[in-house]
Structure 1
Amino acid sequence: MNGQLYLTALFFFFHLGVSSQTLITGKILDEKGQALPGVNVFIKGSFDGTSSSIDGSYEFETSLQGKQTLVFKFLSFKTQELELNCEQSEITVPDIQLVELITEMNAVTISAGAMQASDESKSVILKPLDIVTTPSAMGDIMGAFQTLPGTSTVGNDGRLFVRGGDASEVGIYIDGMKVGNAYGSTAGNVPTRTRFNPNLFKGTFFSTGGYSAEYGQALSSALALNTKDLSIRNQGDLSLMTVGGGYSHTLANERQSITASANYFNLGPYQELIKQNLDFEKAPESWDVEMAAQKKTGKNGLLKVMARTEAGGMKLWQPLPGSENRVFIDLKNNYTYAQANWRSALKNDWMIFTGFSYSKNKDRITYDSLKVERESELLHFKATGIKDFSDRFSAKFGVEHFVHPFSEKLVKENQSRAFNDHETYLFTEWDYYFNKNLVLRTGLRAGNSEVSDETWIDPRISLAYQLGEKGQLSVAAGKFHQLPEENYRVLNQNLKNTESNHLILNYLYSKEGYTFRAETFYKTYDQLVTFQGTAQNPESLANMGAGYAKGIDFFFRDRKTFKETDYWVTYSFVDSKRSFHQYQTQVQPSFAPRHNFSLVVKHFISPLKSQIGASFAYNDGYTYTDPNVDNSKMNSKTKYFQNLSISWSYLPKPNLIIHLACSNVLGRDNVFGYTFSPSTNDQGVFESIPNGQLAPRFLFLGVFLTLSKDKTANNLNNL
């Protein structure tokens, strides 16, 4: 009898368990309504669940009762949860649409006008190591960027010229802070270089137009240099070069690091061996001392401090066309730059940045009997906040203030003139991802200048769309303002902003080992500075100029086709005309050749522990005004420019690098324009002298030794 009761009770409980099972069914789709197979579907806190089939459907049973949470989880998609009441025997769940999770790795990026040199960004054009090993660059950042699309090589200047714009139209930033007088001071026809060592930087963002609302006061381009974070080891680096030498020392641990360096450069011994086309009484000479420190603060903060001071100069005799007389030029320069910045991630997905920078440049110039002193300072305060409202929507807010004094003094006459401007800017930028293939960026920048008594607003917009897995299409448009150069503002403080409007269409294709980039652009100029007279003695300055620049760029890089070989090819076409400075009608500027081509090749020979490189640059020549032709401006053009440079880097030991480079190995006599006499000779001809190169070639030899407990450490570790 007891056995019968036991069997009856067992049957009852078994029947009760079966009858309490709930069947859950449904279907899972993506945002486009396509079925999603392989999605994990389960009840939260239990083992009851399944995976969706090929058509996105799923089906499973659970014995749990009451209110439960159904979870839908799939890689690269946002996890969704749904509340259920498991009281009936069958539940049909409405179709679930999973939203794709957007990350930096799978989302489209805006590439219109943007080129990055970084080890971190997926849309990289060049890496920091590429910059310092470009043969024609000779270790100068600008020399490397002159091999990129949209740039023009102006060999007797050395600065960066972008898409028909003057070098002053390029804004240069370090860690988001504006750098005043980023190039070394120089005399006419003696090319300059950037002041900063490329070893300082971990990455570079170079814009050829349409750049972020965070940056302003640049009509053509923004070049943002990002310094390295914490150093990884203690080490010393000794540099011995044909033009000088230096030493830097780094102390580092897990929380902080500091690097101090000192350098001395003197081209005198080199110029004694290699004849120069200019008569230097004292060759270019300079020294610099620099310090950079980094410190982690809290869990997510990083504080960076940097300071640099330098001094240099040169003395030379400059010939005059049509005369046996020469002009004596004596240039002395002192420069100081310092900055500190702090960034940190806060709660609620906020990222904040604060910083300040200070630049001071002083030139003392003797030009024949005229003695001039110029002093320029730039103090920059900045604060930004970035908020990620979701993986699809983020916003940036910022404010910055500039204090900008400038003075100019005629020493013998004891006459001076000056201005002191205060500029304030507000900016905001909003990114919205419609999905991982489509992103919209809108920006707004407002500014005010105290001296010019002017307020302006610059709207900017960009859109990018993913084409397949490897390609993307971007478009950018915006308005940009820039205050006139200091030497003009000090003469007429009523000068207003110059203006430019940009429109850019870009296609980027990138896969492992290959990068192809094509970009077309159109930009207009308005309120450019014009004057009567000469650039040395301008009169009647006004914002009366205008112009345009349009063209197309191509860039192709291949690191895969040929073993141990990396090369990139660039071609840029620029059609630019403007009325500006002493040109009252629109002309093609001397700094804007129409056709620009460059090729860079690097090949590593493992058995020889060597990398050999070559770079070739070409453009179709520079416009100039020849008064012997007619009375029109920019009526002539030089022969085409050509420069073949080669380099060899040898690593006999892991901590020792020997680098040899030679520019213009073919010895081409490149001419960048002509200087004409102000009056005719006895035959009625305006005599001229060419503005050419200092020497047919430039040779560089450097030996770089690293001292560290880690015997594999060398100068390349920081790049």
Structure 2
Amino acid sequence: MKKSMLLVLFSFCVIHGFTQVIINGTVKDKKMKPIIGASIAIKNSYDGAVSDSSGNFKFATSDNGNDTLLVSCAGYEDFMELLEIHKPIHLNVILKETIYELNAVTVTAGAFSAGDAKKGVIMSALDIVTTATNGDITTALRTLPGAQQVGEQEGLFVRGGTGDETKQYMDGAVISNPYFKGPPQITQRGRFNPFLFSGTVFSTGGYSAIYGDALSSVVLLTSNDLPQKSEVDLSVSPLFLGAGTQQLSKSKKSSFGLNYGYTNVSLYFDVIKTKPDFFKAPQYQTTDFNYRAKTKWGGMIKYYTSFGYNVVGMRNQDIDSLYLKDQFNVKSTNWYNNLNWTENLGKRWKMYWSNSFSINSDKIKEQVVNANNQPKEFDTATYWMNLKNFDLKNSTDNLQSRIVMEKKLKRLNALRFGGEYNYESTKLLFNNYPINLQDNYGALFAETDAYFSNHFMMKLGGRAEHSTLLDKTNWSPRISFAYSVGANAQMSAAYGMFYQKPENMFLMYNRNLDFTKATHYIINYQKTGDKQLFRIEAYYKDYENLIKTVSLQNGAFSYNNKGSGYAEGIDVFWRDKKTFKNFEYWVSYSYLDTKRDYLNYSETLRPDYATPHTFSVVGKKFFQRLKTQVNLTYSFATGRPYYHFIPDGNHGYDLTDKGTTIDYNSIGLSVDYLPNLGKANAKNNIVIVATVSNLLNNKQIYGYNYSYTGSYKEAVLPPARQFFFIGIFFTWGVDRSQQVINDNL
């Protein structure tokens, strides 16, 4: 009996062995390279194998019928295939690389990111206030490649573009008047504190289809979320007094903040003499309020409102007379509101709703006065002198609403689409002559992120926009690529068309103007390492429909869209926080070749705000034992061209004089001392800041003004060669000492 049972069992095993099916094959990636160590198995079975060094595998299974084969390997997406198991099977398996957010390439062409660790931090809020640039966002961004060193006008002049060609956004909504208003040829600071923002993106071209109405550049500012703790701040200096608070709710789901600042530089001008006669020293008052709240769906609502007021009165020697002066009075108010709602809608959908509303009022009066500062009138023989006497009242209301819907797809792919509406109403009163401009500007846009692997992605988008004032519609395609070329290295390329409405100063003379246009071509290489970043970028921009000035009789003029131009160049950036202990630095270099035929230019010329070579070095050394940080910024730019044109009697202009200014050199120094650094249970955090601009007192010339006849010219200079500042900043509730240490180690 036992022998019979053993014989039956042996026969069953032999039969079973002969009914096993052989499954073999190879496992490779999309580039047909073998994948080592991939697991190949029949689902819910112990039958399987592991791929060898050639990617080959082979195993036997006794399963019959329909079963699922599962192939898996770290770094790749799982592969599954339904098999009919009844005879030998050979498989060639291709695995797709898993795309991880930290490993995947991102488009960097034309964009410098700050506060976004995934793309490489370029400049944090602390960087901005410690770059020896007086804590101003725009001035700090001028130390990055692509930006020109223009010291007599507000705005960022980027890659051959004017300051008006750069737009700023807070949480996705436009800031229509980001700078205070001042007299001509004296630049003004921005309205916003850098510590208001957690991230800054400085796009020097090729930016997203979500944004428009900017020929050259956009600056995207992301405001802070909820504070970690409640805090109270106080700022004291001979120039200003400021106080504020941020209060976090007990539930830590909402917060509010309130700030006030007053600046009066009259005491400073009593000590430091300036070339202009400031009979009314610049005064600024600002107050702002913010509210932030988390939603129950994981979103965030932010509201920010600010009110600013400034006045200044100034007299300069009149360039056409030794006995007369030009007197300027400026009074400006600005109310800005920003409402942003970001929400998770479920099923990988997200909504971004951005809104801004502002009311800006400027009152500017210029009057020629005599030696006793009394108004002077002129007869018809010297009518051009009367053109200097004007009274301008400008009131602008601006409303913008933008909504973006985002759908996260598989493998980091994403789709974004939405629209925006912008209403602008401008009321001008020029020498009691009223001019009203009203525009309804709308746009629809869409773009997609398409990831083909961790090493290659594409961003494709488009934007359609319409202006009722111009009665014109545009279509703007945008496309960009990113490709990995090595460890932590990638190349990016971008192309796009960009349109912008003419400024109101042109539309008040001719409402039949068209959009101006720029086409961008960009390619860059970027390599990141441990606390290091290198970047080089080449670009070309083609300008069309630029504004040209048309000369009329008796000094009158109008405008058309017959201008054109180009800009091309190379930008280089290197940042290093690794090589030297407690020391970081960055180096920026820009080469720019640009020419334009626009405004009253008689021919295609290099614009008077552009220079071929710009160079900046920023260094920061933290002395922990001394509780002190020293910041040094050096900026250099080759001379800028200047021109003098006169009407040619045929609606154009003749060039009568030209030249190049001296090179621009400036060293800025700031020292930050933290007396309570390292003290246990310190009740407050104190920072003492001292700064000086143009440390070596170099002469700086921005251009030249000409007399009416052109026989005399006068250099455009800063009000004073140097600026000195000292201030004390107190904070209760939050100790920022560790933030300072971590940012500098």
For 1:134, the aligned partner's letter is T
Q: Distance in 2 between matches of 1:362 and 1:497?
A: 26
Structure 2 residue 689 is matched with structure 1 residue 659: yes
Structure 2 residue 668 is matched with structure 1 residue 645: yes
Maintained 8 Å contact 2:102/2:118: no
Residue 61 of structure 1 deviates from its aligned partner by 5.5
Identify if the C-alpha distance between structure 1 residues 94 and 709 changes in structure 2 by more than 3 Å, giving closer, same or farther.
same
Residue 687 of structure 1 deviates from its aligned partner by 2.8
Name the residue aligned to 2:221: 225
Identify if the C-alpha distance between structure 1 residues 715 and 484 changes in structure 2 by more than 3 Å, giving closer, same or farther.
farther
When the two structures are superposed, what TM-score results if normalisation uses the length of structure 2? 0.89
Structure 2 residue corresponding to 1:431, chosen from 436, 449, 457: 449
Name the residue aligned to 2:146: 150
Name the residue aligned to 1:335: 334
Q: Deviations over 1:350-379 (max 9, x none)?
A: 222122111221001221263321011211
Name the residue aligned to 1:100: 97
Q: Deviations over 1:644-698 (max 9, x none)?
A: 1111112222422222211101011211112222137xxxxx2333211111211
Q: Distance in 1 between matches of 2:509 and 2:68?
A: 74
Name the residue aligned to 2:272: 274
Maintained 8 Å contact 2:633/2:668: yes
Q: Deviations over 1:278-330 (max 9, x none)?
A: 21112111111112222222333222211111111111112212423112211
Name the residue aligned to 2:471: 453
Structure 2 residue 702 is matched with structure 1 residue 672: yes
Q: Deviations over 1:361-409 (max 9, x none)?
A: 1001221263321011211111111223332643221211110111111
Maintained 8 Å contact 1:155/1:672: yes
For 1:408, the aligned partner's letter is L
For 2:106, the aligned partner's letter is T
Q: Secondary structure at the match of 2:604?
A: strand
Identify if the C-alpha distance between structure 1 residues 643 and 26 changes in structure 2 by more than 3 Å, giving closer, same or farther.
same
Q: Deviations over 1:53-112 (max 9, x none)?
A: 3222334566666543332222222122222355x5x75351211101223222222222
Q: Distance in 2 between matches of 1:40 and 1:293?
A: 53
Q: Distance in 2 between matches of 1:126 and 1:209?
A: 18
For 1:54, the aligned partner's letter is S
For 2:182, the aligned partner's letter is T
Q: Deviations over 1:218-276 (max 9, x none)?
A: 11111111112222111122222342121221122532222221111111222222222
Identify if the C-alpha distance between structure 1 residues 234 and 414 changes in structure 2 by more than 3 Å, giving closer, same or farther.
same
Structure 2 residue corresponding to 1:164, chosen from 160, 163, 177: 160
Residue 148 of structure 1 deviates from its aligned partner by 0.7
Question: Aligned ranges for residues 520-669 of structure 1 at < 5 Å?
Answer: 520-532=538-550, 539-625=557-643, 632=655, 635-654=658-677, 655-669=685-699
Maintained 8 Å contact 2:476/2:498: yes
Q: Secondary structure at the match of 1:563?
A: coil
Name the residue aligned to 1:519: 537
Maintained 8 Å contact 1:132/1:198: yes
Residue 538 of structure 1 deviates from its aligned partner by 5.6
Q: Secondary structure at the match of 2:465?
A: strand
Q: Deviations over 1:121-171 (max 9, x none)?
A: 324333333222111x21000111101111101112242111111100001
Q: Distance in 2 between matches of 1:537 and 1:396?
A: 50
For 2:417, the aligned partner's letter is F
Structure 2 residue 355 is matched with structure 1 residue 356: yes
Maintained 8 Å contact 1:669/1:693: no
Maintained 8 Å contact 1:387/1:395: yes
For 1:658, the aligned partner's letter is I
For 1:395, the aligned partner's letter is L
Name the residue aligned to 1:244: 240
Maintained 8 Å contact 2:601/2:645: no
Q: Distance in 1 between matches of 2:239 and 2:153?
A: 19
Maintained 8 Å contact 1:108/1:438: yes
Q: Distance in 1 between matches of 2:574 and 2:735?
A: 37
Q: Distance in 1 between matches of 2:475 and 2:412?
A: 27
Q: Distance in 1 between matches of 2:55 and 2:662?
A: 67
Q: Deviations over 1:167-198 (max 9, x none)?
A: 00001111111110111111112211111111
Q: Distance in 2 between matches of 1:714 and 1:708?
A: 14
Q: Secondary structure at the match of 2:702?
A: strand
**Range with greater deviation from structure 2 (550-559 or 7-16):** 7-16
Residue 494 of structure 1 deviates from its aligned partner by 1.1
Q: Secondary structure at the match of 2:634?
A: strand
Residue 31 of structure 1 deviates from its aligned partner by 0.8
Structure 2 residue corresponding to 1:382, chosen from 392, 402, 410: 402
Q: Distance in 1 between matches of 2:411 and 2:656?
A: 55
Identify if the C-alpha distance between structure 1 residues 230 and 124 changes in structure 2 by more than 3 Å, giving closer, same or farther.
same
Name the residue aligned to 1:683: none
Residue 11 of structure 1 deviates from its aligned partner by 6.2
Maintained 8 Å contact 2:629/2:673: yes
Name the residue aligned to 1:200: 196
Maintained 8 Å contact 2:304/2:339: yes
Identify if the C-alpha distance between structure 1 residues 433 and 380 changes in structure 2 by more than 3 Å, giving closer, same or farther.
same
For 2:610, the aligned partner's letter is A
Q: Distance in 2 between matches of 1:375 and 1:716?
A: 46
Maintained 8 Å contact 1:231/1:718: no
Q: Distance in 1 between matches of 2:627 and 2:740?
A: 16
Identify if the C-alpha distance between structure 1 residues 60 and 346 changes in structure 2 by more than 3 Å, giving closer, same or farther.
farther
Name the residue aligned to 1:705: 730
Maintained 8 Å contact 1:183/1:195: yes
Residue 632 of structure 1 deviates from its aligned partner by 2.0
Structure 2 residue 28 is matched with structure 1 residue 29: yes
Q: Secondary structure at the match of 1:697?
A: coil
Identify if the C-alpha distance between structure 1 residues 518 and 84 changes in structure 2 by more than 3 Å, giving closer, same or farther.
same
Q: Distance in 1 between matches of 2:736 and 2:135?
A: 24
Q: Secondary structure at the match of 1:271?
A: helix
Structure 1 residue corresponding to 2:300, chosen from 296, 299, 302: 302
Residue 598 of structure 1 deviates from its aligned partner by 0.8
Q: Distance in 2 between matches of 1:483 and 1:276?
A: 37
For 2:151, the aligned partner's letter is G
For 2:724, the aligned partner's letter is L
Identify if the C-alpha distance between structure 1 residues 454 and 200 changes in structure 2 by more than 3 Å, giving closer, same or farther.
same
Structure 2 residue 393 is matched with structure 1 residue 373: yes
Residue 345 of structure 1 deviates from its aligned partner by 2.9
Maintained 8 Å contact 2:602/2:654: no
Q: Distance in 2 between matches of 1:35 and 1:59?
A: 15
Identify if the C-alpha distance between structure 1 residues 716 and 603 changes in structure 2 by more than 3 Å, giving closer, same or farther.
closer
Q: Secondary structure at the match of 2:267?
A: helix
Name the residue aligned to 1:259: 257
Structure 2 residue 414 is matched with structure 1 residue 417: no
Residue 8 of structure 1 deviates from its aligned partner by 7.0
Residue 552 of structure 1 deviates from its aligned partner by 1.5
Residue 44 of structure 1 deviates from its aligned partner by 3.7
Q: Secondary structure at the match of 2:425?
A: strand
Identify if the C-alpha distance between structure 1 residues 98 and 627 changes in structure 2 by more than 3 Å, giving closer, same or farther.
closer
Name the residue aligned to 1:318: 316
Q: Distance in 1 between matches of 2:501 and 2:551?
A: 22
**Range with greater deviation from structure 2 (381-390 or 165-174):** 381-390
Residue 537 of structure 1 deviates from its aligned partner by 7.0
For 1:698, the aligned partner's letter is F
Identify if the C-alpha distance between structure 1 residues 455 and 538 changes in structure 2 by more than 3 Å, giving closer, same or farther.
farther
Q: Which runs of 5+ in 2 are unaligned?
A: 368-388, 647-652, 678-684
Q: Distance in 2 between matches of 1:509 and 1:714?
A: 26
Residue 16 of structure 1 deviates from its aligned partner by 7.9
Q: Secondary structure at the match of 2:603?
A: strand
Q: Distance in 2 between matches of 1:29 and 1:675?
A: 70
Q: Secondary structure at the match of 2:655?
A: coil
Provide the alpha-carbon RMSD of the alignment: 2.7
Maintained 8 Å contact 2:255/2:292: yes
Residue 420 of structure 1 deviates from its aligned partner by 0.5
